[in-house]
Amino acid sequence: MISVRDPQLQPLAAKVYDGQRLSFEEGLTLYQTRDLNTLMRLANYVRNERHGDDTYFVHSLRFSQTNICYVGCTFCSFAKRFGEEGAWDWSVAESVEWVREHYQPGLTEIHISSGHHPKRPFSYYPQLVAALRDNFPGVQIKAWTAAEIHHFAKIARSDYHRVLRELKDAGLVALPGGGAEIFSERVRRKIARNKVDANGWLEVHRTAHEMGIRSNATMLYGHIETLAERLDHMERLRKLQDETGGFMSFIPLSFQPWGNNLAQNLGKTEFTTGLDDLRNLAIARLYLDNFPHIKGYWATLTAPLAQVSLDWGVSDIDGTLIAESIVTSAGASSGRALSKEQLARYISDAGRVPVERDALYNVIRRYEAVS
């Protein structure tokens, strides 16, 4: 048992050491406490119990077949309209060419997320997955957020199950966790009005899990949400994970304010600081007791803070992020990908063991532990 400065954390610490689940109110206490040192040590305890020093990363190419999108989320700096400068919309053949140009030896996954294109028919998407699978055998395809799967079901006049079945048959192995934003209806109305709602997002993941497709979950935070709304987001994920067990990791994404209107339109002038980000990761580790991994996404955190986050509950720092463009367009630091060696160095300099994994957390290489 560690010494606890904030007496309010005493009963929570006892529960954490006893492996008991935290309540919503206890989660709020963690958002309010000034005893960040205890919070860090509790999250680190849970992380070490689950994973020891093992810290995961993946050699990942980020691909978006289009940035054309009709949805108009106010936080987004990536989307373009038809004909706008900087818009792209690759055919299947052009997509394969693009991936070939950016391919690196040893690449493990192609992570795809993009815009909601109003005109492409659904048949294009399984064709794209199959073409990537055939041209890059052995590279896993983790493709399209639940928001996009919802869009595909609409344009195909079909349902989530049938859409996911076709994509899976074409070679898709997992879903990325984007599009979740914040589940609160109050916030969603303001920042992502035309996107799939919370229940739809959760239903896509439920359907995927029932079909054996594993997935991730994100949370976009640090804009206009309250702390209770962050916890509500985690609460809904925890419930679904109790049902299905299909989530692999949870990824908090701190809002990046450049090139979008959210900040100006809603009068937001202050954004998350390093300790906000670390606190949020630690709470996720403690609250989401049924999620295997909490990701410290270096693209939004910066790599040095992602390194520090390894003591705050984080067991995965995502990956090389070749050609990341979604958060980069909003000012994040991911414009330059990191090599596997650089990622391994960040991890081992933090006294942890780098483990290269694939999209499904199968181990590719465990590095030597530092002595």
Q: Which residues bind ligand V47 (CB under 6 A)?
A: 75-77, 113, 145, 176-179, 181, 216, 218, 220, 251, 253, 255-256, 260, 297, 300, 318, 326-327, 330
DSSP 271-314: ---HHHHHHHHHHHHHH-TT-SEEB--HHHH-HHHHHHGGGTT-
Query: Which residue, 62 or 133, has its beta carbon nearer to ligand V47?
Result: 62
Distance separating alpha carbons of residues 301 and 311, to the nearest angstrom = 14
Distance separating alpha carbons of residues 217 and 17, to the nearest angstrom = 26
Distance separating alpha carbons of residues 98 and 65, to the nearest angstrom = 9
Give SS3 for 46: helix
> Could you tell me the smallest distance in angstroms from the CB atom of residue 26 to ligand V47?
26
Residue 219's DSSP bridge partners are: 252
> Could you tell me the smallest distance in angstroms from the CB atom of residue 11 to ligand V47?
34
Query: Which residue, 144 or 312, has its beta carbon nearer to ligand V47?
Result: 144
Query: Which residue, 39 or 337, has its beta carbon nearer to ligand V47?
Result: 337
Cα dist from 336 to 298, 323, 324, whole Å: 11, 8, 8
Query: Which residue, 38 or 328, has its beta carbon nearer to ligand V47?
Result: 328
Neighbours of 198 (CB within 10 A): 17
Q: Which residue is nearest to ligand V47 (CB)?
A: 178
Query: Which residue, 29 or 256, has its beta carbon nearer to ligand V47?
Result: 256
Query: Backbone phi, then psi, for 365, in 5-degree steps?
Result: -155, 130
> Could you tell me the smallest distance in angstroms from the CB atom of residue 270 to ligand V47?
15
Asked whether 236 and 32 are in contact (CB, 8 A), the reply is no
Query: Which residue, 12 or 323, has its beta carbon nearer to ligand V47?
Result: 323
Query: Which residue, 178 or 313, has its beta carbon nearer to ligand V47?
Result: 178
> Could you tell me the smallest distance in angstroms from the CB atom of residue 18 to ligand V47?
31
> Could you tell me the smallest distance in angstroms from the CB atom of residue 4 to ligand V47?
33
> Could you tell me the smallest distance in angstroms from the CB atom of residue 218 to ligand V47?
5
Query: Which residue, 38 or 218, has its beta carbon nearer to ligand V47?
Result: 218
Buried b (16+ CB within 10 A) or exposed e, 126-156: bbbbbbbbeebeebbbbbbbbbbbbbbbebe
> Could you tell me the smallest distance in angstroms from the CB atom of residue 14 to ligand V47?
33
> Could you tell me the smallest distance in angstroms from the CB atom of residue 256 to ligand V47?
4
Residue 110: closest CA among 125, 88, 129: 129
Query: Which residue, 29 or 333, has its beta carbon nearer to ligand V47?
Result: 333
> Could you tell me the smallest distance in angstroms from the CB atom of residue 7 to ligand V47?
36
Distance separating alpha carbons of residues 213 and 215, to the nearest angstrom = 7
Region of residue 289 (left: phi > 0; alpha: psi -120 to 50; beta: else): alpha
